[in-house]
A and B are shown apart, each in its own frame.
Chain A
Amino acid sequence: MIKYDLAVIGGGPAGMAAALRARECGVEKIIVLERAETLGGILEQCIHTGFGLHYFKTELSGPEYAARFIELVEDSDIEVKIDTMVLSISDDNVVTAVNKTDGLLEIDATAVILAMGCRERPRGALNIAGTRCAGVLSAGTAQKYVNIDGYMPGKEVVILGSGDIGLIMARRMTLEGAKVKMVCELMPYSSGLTRNIVQCLDDFDIPLKLSTTVIDIHGKERLEGVTIAKVDDNRRPIPGTEEFVPCDTLMLSVGLIPENELSKNMGIEFDPVTNGPVVDELRETSHPGVFACGNVLHVHDLVDFVTKESQIAGEGAAKYILGGKTDKKYVKTKGINGVRYIVPQKIDLANEGDVELYFRVGDVHKNAKIIVTYNGQEIISRKRPRLAPGEMENVVIKNDMLKNFDENGIIEIQVED
């Protein structure tokens, strides 16, 4: 058993930013456990640009964004174990991990930061009928094959799901010489950024088929084609709209799920909407000394926000490590009327700063208002020209406001059209 002040699970943008901030705040013995061969997480395969506009005020590619943090980690005395998989975290924050060089590692950590990121929803979760041939893969897996391994996963491609990864891969495959036949989207709108629709689809004349889904997969050994169909308002396929599209590859970009197997095994309290832990403003979970940040907490659309959130978690962990456990009195947060969720889900009344609440809406709204209430009383109202499920929003709860709140009070956010 080795003693550490802080164990960070995951060396992607979340884990690195959290570890670095904790170090800046005076935490001395920190270890970062990363399952891949390098630090950087999923950014290593996101070779497109668009990262860092908020945080670095410049447009970087994924690997460039990651590299800025990797350098800082390498220059610090933060210990890093790559190719290392965490198997479990015990009730008293003992982290058990495994790798080829150290064998089984047991790390007795005062605090733990969960930064495992997320994974893609697989075909099985969609329950698309058809055969189980080769050629059906998630967009992220395809991205790794193309951008890291240098191999083509297909030549004639249909993409299901118009989230940003799906859009980015449509362009990526086209640039590598594949024919991307279409991007199908179940919803009547794309959950991807408009700029990606323009630059990844329109530029290359790739059709975006809204309210359309894949209902059948054909092919004995390798994929030979898919059947697509229009869907009605309840997202059920409309009979008579079926169309066979020949292709050798079906890429799925149908959602991301926080990867919380470790946290679930610890019995941490979960938010059924985010599929991540319930946290307070310091990103501390229901398990004392265990913090969470980045996509393991809730799926982000911009890495810049992951960095910011992870710095909060790093600071929170530092407070816990250096100041010890304190009794917290919480006011809760809740999304209603069009707001799907809010992170953090609770705020300690003793908090000394302003608290930013991050949230997502469930539908597209134009010229809407965001109303924040405390125990039913309006406290903040903000105009928003456009709200979309794909874009995370935030409002700030000022500290002087917080001072007037009581334990078990509730802050609610809603959309007003």
Chain B
Amino acid sequence: MSYDVAIIGAGVTGAMIARELSRYNIKTALIERCSDMAMGTTKANSAIVHAGFDAVPGTLKAKLNVEGTSIMPELCSVLHVPFKPIGSYVVAFSKDEIEHLEKLKARGEENGVPGLRILNSDELHKEEPNLNEKAVAALFAPTAGIVCPYELTIATVENAVTNGVEFIRNFNVIAIDKNADGNFVLKSEDKTIEAEYVINAAGSFCDQVASLIGDDSITIIPRKGEYMLMDRAVGNKVSHVIFQCPSKMGKGILVTPTVDGNLLIGPSAIDIEEKDDCATTADGLDGVFKTALKSVPSLTTREIITSFAGIRAHSPTDDFIIESSSKDDKFINVAGIESPGLSSAPAIGVYVCNMVIEAMGGAEKNVDFVPGRPAPVRFREMNTEERKALIEKNNAYGRIICRCETITEGEIIDAIHAPAGAIDVDGVKRRTRAGMGRCQGGFCGSKVVEILARELGQELDEITKCGGESKILFGRTK
């Protein structure tokens, strides 16, 4: 197959670029090495839309963060992705740290962040009664918010696919050549595709992908971050994103509600060797929990329902790298997209799309472009009348599969048959929340496997957790 543009990597960055490109009549492929989108850096991060006071003024990070954050509310609204503009606090525990807040505030103002304000101890503890009483002040950023990064990415890809982008899973680019027409030829173990332009949005693998065309200018240091997710019962311990004063390694341990009402704490920050080493460590998790206690002393380990780790695609340049490769004008690197990458992604999408269209000398608009996706059914959030009407229309919504999260069979079927739909258990989980509750799939796991097998016309033992060798069952007992 031949495309105008091939985007390597279906994380939030690649997805946003794909969606922006789908506004034009150009043929775009979004290529992903895993079985689903949002499987790398996008899958596991703090899920924060940052206000934009962290980045050094004048950097791409500063510009794109503030722009991205300003686009986010409207974008989430049309894509029907929950976004909560809950605001963030950077908490100071000493006089020195208050000085640091002042610096952050000044920097934020230079970056164009609206509404920054320093709260005194009384104001702070009135807003956040569970915060450590030793906290003396906080920098309040009203434009910060929370969003589910994979839900945003899934919705964005769905929308891009609806607008004509082709989503290609399980395509691990191992070689990039040029053919006689001057087009790139991207090869996986068993497939090839051609494209005039290539966008390298491969997250922590950006350096490896760039080196496939002989571009060795990029270095990505994978930096692991571990998190703990806590039960809904403590989801209201804090009502804003709570940061501690940042250190060299990152923004420190944060405590935040999630859009689904849980409480998230993390991340740790450890530079690692392997780019996909998402194993949590006892020491890392221990450190996360202990440091989170500094912000909210009343947390207990009993409320932890799961823990996970993600990889930051850290670049030693400390800024996003978004430019054509020195080796080839038509190969655009979008690398080093670490925090505030999620917040910046909508703006990165626009920025990269403009680069491509300019390089092409302009392109025809896609007159059929629809900016949003239909609202997915969320049985859990409906009232009695809505539920009645829904089941009357389709009784698959009358069968609850996941008890903890109240997810119906109908929602799971929808997730499987959506554009770029779920093909494995984790895919269903990320799209519907089935298996994400307290029992972590203990009861519904086997039912989800059954539904996937039935809807995809496969045997039970062909269904995987997350593609590849992650099979769940080993054949029949007899």
Contact = CB atoms under 8 A, between A and B. Distances in A.
Interface of A: 35, 83, 85, 87, 96, 98-104, 106, 119-120, 122-125, 127, 129-134, 137-138, 140-141, 144-146, 149-155, 176, 215-218, 220-222, 237, 248, 259, 261
B278 A132 contact: yes
Interface string B457-470: 00011001111111
Contact of B395 (A100, A217, A218): A100
Given A129-B279, A129-B281, A150-B476, A98 B470 contact: no
A123 B466 contact: no
A83 B284 CA distance: 43
B302 to A, nearest CB: 8
Contact of B392 (A103, A133, A221): A103
A222 B279 contact: no
A141 B477 CA distance: 15
B442 A154 contact: no
Contacts of B467: 221
A215 B229 CA distance: 19
A34 B467 CA distance: 34
Contacts of A217: 279
Contact of B471 (A85, A134, A215): A134
Interface stretch (B77-85, B119-127, B304-312, B351-359): B304-312
Given A103-B395, A123-B440, A215-B282, A96 B384 contact: yes
B219 interface: no
Nearest to B475: A152
A149 B282 contact: no
A222 B468 CA distance: 9
B305 A152 contact: no
A247 to B, nearest CB: 13
A57 B306 CA distance: 43
A119 B395 contact: no
A216 B476 CA distance: 29
B317 interface: no
A350 B305 CA distance: 43
B45 to A, nearest CB: 15
B282 to A, nearest CB: 5
Given A137-B442, A220-B468, 15 more contacts: A35-B400, A83-B399, A87-B400, A102-B398, A103-B395, A103-B398, A119-B439, A119-B442, A127-B304, A129-B285, A134-B466, A141-B441, A144-B446, A218-B279, A221-B467
A145 B473 contact: yes
B460 A124 contact: no
B282 A98 contact: no
A46 to B, nearest CB: 15
Contacts of B399: 83, 85, 98-100
22 contacts: A87-B400, A87-B406, A99-B398, A101-B395, A103-B398, A122-B305, A127-B285, A129-B280, A131-B278, A132-B308, A134-B464, A134-B470, A134-B471, A134-B472, A144-B446, A145-B473, A151-B460, A151-B461, A176-B477, A220-B468, A237-B282, A259-B403
A150 B478 contact: yes
B477 A146 contact: yes
B87 interface: no
- Of A102, A134, A137, most buried by chain B (CB within 10 Å of CB) is A134
How many B residues are at the interface, by size bracket? 35 or more
A123 B465 contact: no
Given A127-B285, A222-B469, A137 B445 contact: yes
Interface of B: 228-229, 276, 278-282, 284-285, 301, 304-308, 384, 387-388, 391-392, 395-396, 398-400, 403-404, 406, 438-443, 445-446, 450, 460-461, 464-478
B476 A127 contact: no
Contacts of B228: 127
B400 A153 contact: no
- Of B304, B398, B441, B468, most buried by chain A (CB within 10 Å of CB) is B398
A217 B469 CA distance: 16
A138 B442 contact: yes
A122 B392 CA distance: 35
Contact of A127 (B301, B392, B461): B301
B475 A151 contact: yes
A81 to B, nearest CB: 12
State the 3 A-B residue pairs at the shortest beta-carbon distance, nearest first: A124-B306, A122-B440, A134-B465
A158 to B, nearest CB: 15
Contacts of B478: 150, 176
A153 B442 CA distance: 13
B357 to A, nearest CB: 38
A151 B278 CA distance: 29
Contacts of A130: 279-280
Contacts of B387: 98, 104
Contacts of B440: 122-124
A120 B301 CA distance: 18
Given A140-B442, A176-B477, A221 B468 contact: yes
B442 A100 contact: no
Contact of A153 (B406, B464, B468, B474): B474
Nearest to B406: A87
B474 A133 contact: no
A317 B179 CA distance: 80
Contacts of A151: 460-461, 473-477
A281 to B, nearest CB: 30
Contacts of B468: 220-221
Nearest to B400: A85
